[in-house]
Amino acid sequence: MKKVSLVICVYNEEENILPLAEQIAGAMKGFEFEAIFVDDGSTDLTRQRVREIGDNRFILAELRKNYGQSSAIQAGIDLAEGDFIVTLDGDLQNDPSDIPSMIDLAESGGWDVVAGIRANRKDGMLLRKMPSRIANSIIRRTTDVKIRDYGCTLKVFRNEVAKSIKIYGELHRFIPVLVALEGGTITQMEVKHHARIHGKSKYGLNRTMKVVSDLLVMLFIKRYLQKPMHLFGAMGGIGIISGVAIFLYLFILKLFHYDIWGKPIMILGILLLLGGIQLITIGLIAEIQMRTYFESQDKKPYRIRKIERVG
């Protein structure tokens, strides 16, 4: 029987812990499982409630302070020992009863990741649903990873895939993109979603700029991690060519005895020329760092899915 590890990140969810533990125990009947509650620096009785569960299949991982959801998820994945690793929220909005079906889908279809899609989402339209839909659309278009609901925490991973990704900063929203970069296969299924009953949501409109910033990071990683000079070199080349063109124009004006000193276009030409040189220099440094990143850790810029004899 395959073992399943559930990773539940919690922060000030004292009223939700015991009901969630009961739901997990009921949903995972027939499975060998461990449920890892990662406490992300709670200031209420969350840790005490986890200890009250009284079941050795449940584990409390207490972080020293509030590091954020991405770091908490990474801590849980690092600790997980199951053949499948499941991530879900600790606010009772995800339903553990969906997990067995998601595991069955992963096994029957050979998928590396099964991502949940929150059907009939029980959140406010203006502050939660609309920003989420806009963000999902932008991420799908820019990354080419066609996940309908990037904000749904409920996901099932094969162990080797979950362990292969590293989640920094606020990149937990982009886990499907990180999996795709590692060559993982992803499918989706609709899952139940419940309204929050206890506690307060940790999400709001203030995360919009974080999503935009993280999206820029993901686009760079996806397209230019192994070839940064293609980005910085192209931008720098455009700047240098534009600067040289402006100086040629000013040189021609000078030949016809026009006063060119102090003109805004001259300042623009200087900025473009210097900026172009700086961008190319940054590109060269990034290329060296990229090679250091792969070679110092003996990392490979590719992933082999399977090797088999054919005769």
Position 132 scores a pLDDT of 72
Q: Which tokens sit at 152?
A: 């749904």
Same-domain status, 288 and 185: no
Domain boundary among 187, 207, 224: 224
> Is 99:27 a contact under the CB 8 Å cutoff?
yes
Same-domain status, 141 and 259: no
Write out the H or E segment, with its range, that includes residue 181.
helix 175-181
Position 187 scores a pLDDT of 95
Q: Which CATH number fits the domain that encloses residue 146?
A: 3.90.550.10
- Give the residue carrying structure tokens 């805004």: 264
pLDDT tens track, the chain, 311 positions: 789 999 999 999 999 999 999 999 999 999 999 999 999 999 999 999 999 998 999 999 999 888 888 889 999 999 999 999 999 999 999 999 999 999 999 999 999 999 999 888 866 666 566 777 777 788 888 788 888 888 899 999 999 999 988 887 777 888 898 898 888 999 999 999 888 787 666 555 556 666 677 777 777 877 777 788 888 899 999 999 999 999 999 999 888 888 877 788 989 999 999 999 999 999 888 888 877 877 677 766 555 555 555 54
Q: Measure the CA–CA gap between 23 and 29, rounded to whole angstroms.
A: 10
Residue type for position 177: V
Helix, strand, coil in percent for the chain, rounding step 5 = 50, 15, 35
Same-domain status, 206 and 241: no
Q: Measure the CA–CA gap between 3 and 25, rounded to whole angstroms.
A: 14
241 lies in some domain: yes
Domain boundary among 193, 224, 255: 224
Same-domain status, 119 and 250: no
Position 311 scores a pLDDT of 47
Position 196 scores a pLDDT of 79
Q: Measure the CA–CA gap between 129 and 192, rounded to whole angstroms.
A: 16
> Is 268:228 a contact under the CB 8 Å cutoff?
no
Position 207 scores a pLDDT of 60
What are the Cα distances from residue 193, in Å, to 87, 196, 236? Answer: 15, 9, 48
110 lies in some domain: yes
303 lies in some domain: no
Same-domain status, 209 and 241: no
Position 128 scores a pLDDT of 61
Q: Measure the CA–CA gap between 83 and 3, rounded to whole angstroms.
A: 5
Same-domain status, 290 and 167: no
Length of the chain counted residue by residue: 311
Write out the H or E segment, with its range, that includes residue 73.
helix 69-79
Prediction pTM value: 0.74
- Domain span at residue 258 reads 228-296
188 lies in some domain: yes
Phi, psi torsion values for 33, nearest 5 degrees: -145, 160
Position 146 scores a pLDDT of 84
Position 310 scores a pLDDT of 58
Same-domain status, 178 and 246: no
Please give the tally of structural domains in the chain: 2
Nearest 10 degrees: Cα torsion 243, 244, 246, 248: 170
- Residue 271 CB: number of other CB atoms within 10 A? 14
Report DSSP letters for the chain, one per residue.
--EEEEEEEESS-TTTHHHHHHHHHHHTTTSEEEEEEEE-S-SSSHHHHHHTT--TTEEEEE-SS---HHHHHHHHHHH--SSEEEEEESSS-B-GGGHHHHHHHHHHHT-SEEEEEETT--S-IIIIIHHHHHHHHHHHHHH----S-TT---EEEEHHHHHH----TTGGGGHHHHHHHTT--EEEEEE-B----SS--S--GGGHHHHHHHHHHHHHHHHHTT-HHHHHHHHHHHHHHHHHHHHHHHHHHHHTT---TT-HHHHHHHHHHHHHHHHHHHHHHHHHHHHHHHHHTT--SS---------
